[in-house]
Chain A
Amino acid sequence: MLAADRIADIAGLQGQLESAGYVAEASLAATLLLTLDLGRPLLVEGDAGVGKTEIAKAFATVRDVRLIRLQCYEGLDVHAAMYEWNYQRQLLAIKLLEQDDRPLADKEKDIFSEAYLLKRPLLEAISCDESPVLLIDEVDRADEAFEAYLLELLSDFQISIPELGTVNAITRPLVIITSNGTRELSDALRRRCLYQFIEYPDFAKELAIVKIKAPQAADQLARQVVAFVQQVRRMELQKKPGIAETLDWTAALLRMGITVINDDGAQRIIDTLSALIKTRDDCTGFTPEVVARIAATC
């Protein structure tokens, strides 16, 4: 394939993602195409609120396939992530089968059949007819033990269920894994994945996002909002505002009827800052003088 075709593909995907509401750099689009080509999972890291999860959503929309999401948390186990037997139904079935005079082996086969299997996200993802996007969100919150399970799935795309046998993938899902870095992931997992780190967006990208997601904001306000947020990110804060915060804040400003940010309206801006600044320590830094100073440069 020629490089020129690839560049066209990348630009095409960027355009499609944008119409799905996600502004992606060319490098991200190139990586997504590569994940498709190689069939390897994509590990996305970055600070909270830079749009890691959104990638999977937008990509599923673009490819017009299902998005299956597995939210990881501490103590997530195989029963919640892969499969579980439907015990209540099985117990009922046992009672009903007591009158049945079929051989015992048949009965047992019946009880442990797919009808009594509850598919959790991972099993679901490999048993879809059409290859879905599987989003494994915040994998760092799950335990190391779960990571090991995940590795088995990601290398062979099969799940072994002791009572039923091995379930092989009908189609391979496109796997996107996100991590917030609350725990160091194992090297084995990292090696198996393509890697993408998402930075906070620069001015142009964030402006494009605001224009797509909040079209009702006037051009001048959008520019000012983004310039303001970019400055705030440069300050020493406990929790830097992400893109979601920018959009929330834009909505808050619009709701308050603020159409232009200037240093006169510092107090009014402070009233809306709760959408942007989320810890008490950070709030104390935003005195009217500070806000006026930032606003004056926007």
Chain B
Amino acid sequence: MLTVEALEQSDVGTVLLTRIAGFTAFLHENGYGVSAADSVDIVDAASRTGVLDQPILRWNLKSLLCNRYEEWQRFDALFDAYFLPPNIKVFVSRDAAVGAPEVTTTGGDDGSRESPTTPENAVVDETKAARYGASREENLSSTDFSELNQADQARKVEALMRRLARRLKHLKLRREARSQRGRRLDLQSTIRQSVASGGTPLRLAWKTRRRVRSRLVLLLDVSRSMNAYSFFYLRLARALCNELADVHCFIFHTRITSVGEALRDPDPWRAQERLNVLAVGWAGGTRIGECLQDFNREQGARLVHSRTGVLIVSDGYDTGDTALLADALGTLRRRARRMVWFNPLLNQPDFTPVARGMRTAMPYLDLLAPGADLAAIERVLPQLIKSLR
């Protein structure tokens, strides 16, 4: 393996080009949105600054190739993995917030399906997994995500989510903005336009109510008791992610993990691979309270604002502390605009919210909706949209 030091003594031009082009490809495999144009920029930058100094190379590549915070966070580990010789784990651990990369997180359970030469899968989940640590109640057997790509229901799910997305896009604010046609005359703008015709208002300008830009946060329970519904909801989530830009999806069981990036992956098979890595603990126990608390602490301030609708999907069977759950739900409820809980068990005729988690959650919810299948969700759609406005 070539190292930065080795580069220094060799023919810089060609070695550099191939090596750095390799790095962009490596980042691309790891889900970075980099393109060939970036390579050109890198070489441009390199020729100006002299890349052969390790920290400068790192900083330059970092600012050039990262596009968002998740990428920024993972970059140092990937850089080390690519440019440093394998026997040196960490060159400089400058960034205490990100923490040193740990290699042990994905364990051997899914190692069998990955080729042993690709370290990138180990890196994908690294920051999250390292933070939470393992739990006894996690299910360590792997889950088969191929069901996610089956076509039978996919079309219907997509159609329904498209409808939901379209309705959400049409929610209006009371505030107004200029528009081509509308319900009220924009007098100021009309007079401005009349200048062109010597003060005679020939063209009229209108105002209309502005759109709401609402954000959705989906929190999906994928514990054992929800096993029958998890895939269904994940599929809904993926369809919704494809329709709306501002949807953020998390799965939780004994810990909470973001799956938004994996779901958005345009390549369904790669999405499946990434979910495999993320879903360690799928169909294990449930600790809703702790998961929500983790969510509040790490994502809450960033993701949940006064126009956020939080959709929780869970049956409410909770093995954690109910006081904790109440506390976390309270915090979340105060931050969010609306909180909707989908409970698949609600369809059953003799349903009463007896599950501990469900009983605790009731006072904090704006809407408790049934959601065992597509038809149930379709029925509840008008209420859902109403409650999100």
Contacting A at CB under 8 A, from B227-250, are 245-246
- Tell me how far the C-beta of B201 lies from the nearest C-beta in chain A, rounded to whole angstroms: 13
Of A182-190, A257-265, A289-297, the one touching chain B: A182-190
Known: A3-B50, A3-B56, A194-B64. A181 touches B45 (CB 8 A): no
- Tell me how far the C-beta of A237 lies from the nearest C-beta in chain B, rounded to whole angstroms: 8
A91 to B307, CA, bound (A): 42
Smallest Cβ-Cβ distance to A189: which chain B residue: B67
Which residue of A31, A91, A240 contacts B59 across the interface (Cβ within 8 Å)?
A31
A45 to B302, CA, bound (A): 12
Check B60 against A236 for contact (C-beta < 8 Å). Answer: no
Does A37 touch B at the CB level, under 8 Å? yes
A197 to B302, CA, bound (A): 14
Check B72 against A195 for contact (C-beta < 8 Å). Answer: yes
Smallest Cβ-Cβ distance to B64: which chain A residue: A194
Contacting A at CB under 8 A, from B89-124, are 95-97
Contacting B at CB under 8 A, from A133-191, are 143, 181-184, 187, 190-191
Does A10 touch B at the CB level, under 8 Å? yes
Does B141 touch A at the CB level, under 8 Å? no
Does A1 touch B at the CB level, under 8 Å? yes
- Tell me how far the C-beta of A105 lies from the nearest C-beta in chain B, rounded to whole angstroms: 14
Check A26 against B59 for contact (C-beta < 8 Å). Answer: yes
Most buried by A among B41, B97, B301: B301
Most buried by B among A1, A27, A75: A27
Residues in A with CB closer than 8 Å to B331 are 281
A194 to B45, CA, bound (A): 12
Does B156 touch A at the CB level, under 8 Å? no
Residues in A with CB closer than 8 Å to B60 are 30-31, 34
Known: A38-B41, A75-B177, A202-B96. A184 touches B245 (CB 8 A): yes
A184 to B213, CA, bound (A): 11
Does A131 touch B at the CB level, under 8 Å? no
Residues in A with CB closer than 8 Å to B199 are 91, 94
Check A6 against B44 for contact (C-beta < 8 Å). Answer: no
Which residue of A7, A47, A94, A191 contacts B33 across the interface (Cβ within 8 Å)?
A191
Check B63 against A184 for contact (C-beta < 8 Å). Answer: no
Which residue of A1, A33, A200 contacts B50 across the interface (Cβ within 8 Å)?
A1
Residues in A with CB closer than 8 Å to B45 are 34, 37-38
Does A238 touch B at the CB level, under 8 Å? yes
Known: A37-B45, A236-B296. A6 touches B195 (CB 8 A): no
Does A239 touch B at the CB level, under 8 Å? yes
A200 to B68, CA, bound (A): 17
Which residue of B59, B198, B302 contacts A94 across the interface (Cβ within 8 Å)?
B198
Check A187 against B96 for contact (C-beta < 8 Å). Answer: no
Residues in A with CB closer than 8 Å to B44 are 38
- Tell me how far the C-beta of A284 lies from the nearest C-beta in chain B, rounded to whole angstroms: 12
A79 to B62, CA, bound (A): 36
Name 22 A/B residue pairs within 8 A (Cβ), A-sorted.
A1-B50, A2-B50, A3-B53, A7-B56, A26-B55, A27-B58, A30-B60, A31-B60, A31-B62, A34-B49, A34-B64, A37-B45, A38-B41, A45-B68, A45-B69, A47-B302, A77-B178, A85-B195, A87-B192, A143-B213, A195-B67, A236-B296
Contacting A at CB under 8 A, from B251-307, are 296-297, 301-302, 305
Check B56 against A94 for contact (C-beta < 8 Å). Answer: no
Residues in A with CB closer than 8 Å to B55 are 26-27, 30
Could you list which residues of chain A lie within 8 angstroms of chain B, going by C-beta atoms? Answer: 1-7, 10, 26-27, 30-31, 33-34, 37-38, 40, 42, 45, 47, 75, 77, 85, 87, 90-91, 94, 143, 181-184, 187, 190-191, 194-197, 199-200, 202, 236, 238-240, 281
- Tell me how far the C-beta of B64 lies from the nearest C-beta in chain A, rounded to whole angstroms: 6
Check B48 against A91 for contact (C-beta < 8 Å). Answer: no
Check B48 against A1 for contact (C-beta < 8 Å). Answer: yes
Does B175 touch A at the CB level, under 8 Å? yes
Smallest Cβ-Cβ distance to B335: which chain A residue: A238
A199 to B99, CA, bound (A): 13
A38 to B60, CA, bound (A): 11
Check A181 against B67 for contact (C-beta < 8 Å). Answer: no
Does B35 touch A at the CB level, under 8 Å? yes
Which residue of B178, B198, B213, B302 contacts A181 across the interface (Cβ within 8 Å)?
B302
Residues in B with CB closer than 8 Å to A1 are 48-50
A202 to B59, CA, bound (A): 18
- Tell me how far the C-beta of A178 lies from the nearest C-beta in chain B, rounded to whole angstroms: 14
Check A190 against B67 for contact (C-beta < 8 Å). Answer: yes
- Tell me how far the C-beta of A175 lies from the nearest C-beta in chain B, rounded to whole angstroms: 14
- Tell me how far the C-beta of B23 lies from the nearest C-beta in chain A, rounded to whole angstroms: 16
Check B59 against A75 for contact (C-beta < 8 Å). Answer: no
Known: A75-B175, A85-B195, A94-B199. A27 touches B67 (CB 8 A): no
Check B246 against A184 for contact (C-beta < 8 Å). Answer: yes
A239 to B331, CA, bound (A): 13
Smallest Cβ-Cβ distance to A239: which chain B residue: B301
Does B66 touch A at the CB level, under 8 Å? yes
Residues in A with CB closer than 8 Å to B246 are 183-184
Known: A30-B59, A75-B210. A187 touches B33 (CB 8 A): yes
Residues in B with CB closer than 8 Å to A27 are 55, 58-59, 62
Residues in B with CB closer than 8 Å to A239 are 301
- Tell me how far the C-beta of A60 lies from the nearest C-beta in chain B, rounded to whole angstroms: 19
Residues in B with CB closer than 8 Å to A7 are 53, 56
A290 to B96, CA, bound (A): 26
A190 to B52, CA, bound (A): 27
Check A195 against B50 for contact (C-beta < 8 Å). Answer: no
Check A6 against B301 for contact (C-beta < 8 Å). Answer: no
Check B48 against A37 for contact (C-beta < 8 Å). Answer: yes
A182 to B192, CA, bound (A): 33
Residues in A with CB closer than 8 Å to B148 are none
Smallest Cβ-Cβ distance to B305: which chain A residue: A182
A152 to B298, CA, bound (A): 35
Most buried by A among B53, B215, B296: B53
Does B204 touch A at the CB level, under 8 Å? no
Most buried by A among B48, B67, B175, B305: B67
A30 to B35, CA, bound (A): 22
Most buried by B among A34, A45, A183: A34
